Amino acid sequence: EAQVTQNPRYLITVTGKKLTVTCSQNMNHEYMSWYRQDPGLGLRQIYYSMNVEVTDKGDVPEGYKVSRKEKRNFPLILESPSPNQTSLYFCASRTTGGAGELFFGEGSRLTVL
C-alpha cells in the first residue's frame, strides 16, 4: 500500500530536549516536504527536498533542520524545541515536476512544555 509514515504520532517533550520526527515513503517519490498546521494559520511549509541531498527552506524554517540521505526518508529535527513549536506536523511526498499527486502522512502532534 502506498503510504507516508510518520513517527511518533504524538509526543510531549520539554523545552530544549532535541527530538526527531521521522518520515518515510514507499512510493519512490523524489519530492518530500514538511508542514506545520496551527489554528488560524493554516498549513505552512517548513522545508522541502527535491531529491536526495537537496533540501530547501519553506516559509517557516527557523528552529528546524532536515536531512535527505536516502530517497525514502526525510526526518525533521528540532535541535532545541521551544513552546512555539507546539503544533501538528505533516510530512508529504510526490513525484517531481509538480504534476504529481501529493500524499500526506497522518500527522504528528507535538507539545513542547
Partner 1 sequence: KQEVTQIPAALSVPEGENLVLNCSFTDSAIYNLQWFRQDPGKGLTSLLLIQSSQREQTSGRLNASLDKSSGRSTLYIAASQPGDSATYLCAVPNNDMRFGAGTRLTVKP
Q: Which residue has the cell 532545541?
A: 80
Q: Kindly state whether residue 12 participates in binding partner 1, applying the rule CB under 8 A.
A: no
**Does position 59 bind partner 1 by CB under 8 A?**
yes
What is the C-alpha to C-alpha distance for residues 43 and 51, in angstroms, rounded to an integer?
22
> 86 near 111, Cβ under 8 Å?
yes
Among 30, 58, 71, 111, binds partner 1 (CB under 8 A): 58
State which amino acid sits at residue 28: N
The reply on whether position 97 binds partner 1 by CB under 8 A is yes
List the grid coordinates of 16.
530544549
Give kind and range of the element (H or E) at residue 45.
strand 42-51
105 binds partner 1 (CB under 8 A): yes
- Does position 99 interact with partner 1 (CB under 8 A)? The reply is yes
| CB of 63 or CB of 107, closer to partner 1 | 107
d(CA 18, CA 12): 12
Residue closer to partner 1, measured from CB, 1 or 97 = 97
By the criterion CB under 8 A, which residues form the site for partner 1? 33, 35, 42-43, 45, 48, 50, 56, 58-59, 88, 90, 92, 94, 97-107, 109
